[in-house]
Amino acid sequence: MAVEVVMPKLGMSMKEGTISVWNKKEGDMVAKGEAIVSIQSEKIETEIEAPADGTLLKVVVQEDQSVPPGTVIGYIGEPNEQLDQSKSLEKQQADSHAEKATEGAVFDVEKPSSKGATVSSSPVARKMALKAGINLENIVGTGPGGRITKADVEKAIAEQRVEPSEAKRSNSDVTEKGMQDGAKITPASAMRQVIATRMHGSLMQSAQLTMNMKADVTDLMALREEVNHTVQTRYGMKLTVTDFIARAVVLALQEHSNMNSAYIDEHIVTYEYVHLGMAVSLTQGLVVPVVQHAEALSVVELSKQIKSLSEQARTGKLQSDQLTGSTFTVTNLGVYGVDHFTPILNPPEAGILGVGAATDAPVFQGGDWQTRAMLPLSLTFDHRIVDGAPAAEFLQTIKQFLEKPTHLLL
Are the beta carbons of 395 and 211 closer than 8 angstroms? Answer: yes
The question of whether 181 is a catalytic residue gets the answer no
* Nearest one of 210, 222, 238 to 403, comparing CA atoms: 222
Active-site residue identified among 84, 108, 173, 387? 387
* Nearest one of 64, 30, 215, 233 to 144, comparing CA atoms: 64
Q: Note the maximum CA span of the chain.
A: 86
* HEC profile of the chain: CCEEEECCCCCCCCCCEEEEEECCCCCCEECCCCEEEEEEECCEEEEEECCCCEEEEEECCCCCCEECCCCEEEEEECCCCCCCCHHHHHHHHHHHHHHHHHHHHHCCCCCECCCCCECCECHHHHHHHHHHCCCHHHCCCCCHHHCECHHHHHHHHHHCCCCHHHHHHHHHHHHHHHHHHCCCCCCCCHHHHHHHHHHHHHHHCCCEEEEEEEEECHHHHHHHHHHHHHHHHHHCCCCCHHHHHHHHHHHHHHHCHHHCEEEECCEEEECCCCCEEECEEECCEEECCEECCHHHCCHHHHHHHHHHHHHHHHCCCCCHHHHCCCCEEEEECHHHCCCCCCCCCCCCECEEEEECCCEEEEEEECCEEEEEEEEEEEEEEECCCCCHHHHHHHHHHHHHHHHCHHHHHC
**CA-to-CA distance for 146 and 131, rounded, in angstroms?**
22
Active-site residue identified among 97, 293, 383, 407? 383
The question of whether 368 is a catalytic residue gets the answer no
Examine residue 348 and say whether the peptide bond preceding it is cis (omega within 30 degrees of 0). Answer: yes
**CA-to-CA distance for 262 and 270, rounded, in angstroms?**
7
Are the beta carbons of 22 and 30 closer than 8 angstroms? Answer: no
- Annotated catalytic residues are 383, 387
